[in-house]
Amino acid sequence: MSIEDKAHCRGCHRLLNGHPYYTGKPAYIPETGARALSHHFGGWVCSSTCERRVFEQMKAENVWSSDCARMVAAAYDRHEANRVR
């Protein structure tokens, strides 16, 4: 059984309680019982720090062409702005 079949944080790769992301059911932070955040690009993250870490990892892996990276960065910034409101 791979980690992808378990609820886990994409940022720090620790296991969470609850359901893997693809099932569409919730996952929870083991220490607090709070619901895990769903990442803008899919998967669970345990904190906004880990959410940003995943985004930085995706940028560092250079998985997008530069135009695409700019669009994704703009979408991420909008997402961040929406959340503080």
CA dist., res. 70 & res. 59, Å (int) = 10
* Selected range binding Zn ion among 10-18, 32-40, 57-65, 67-75, rule: CB under 5 A: 10-18
* 8, 11, 27, 51: which one binds Zn ion (CB under 5 A): 11
- Closest CB to Zn ion among 52 and 79? 52
What is the helix (H) or strand (E) element at residue 58, kind and residue range? helix 48-60
Residues 25-54 touching Zn ion, rule: CB under 5 A, are 46, 50
CA distance to 18, 34, 63, per residue, from 71 (Å): 32, 31, 13
- Footprint of Zn ion on this chain (CB under 5 A)? 9, 11-12, 46, 50
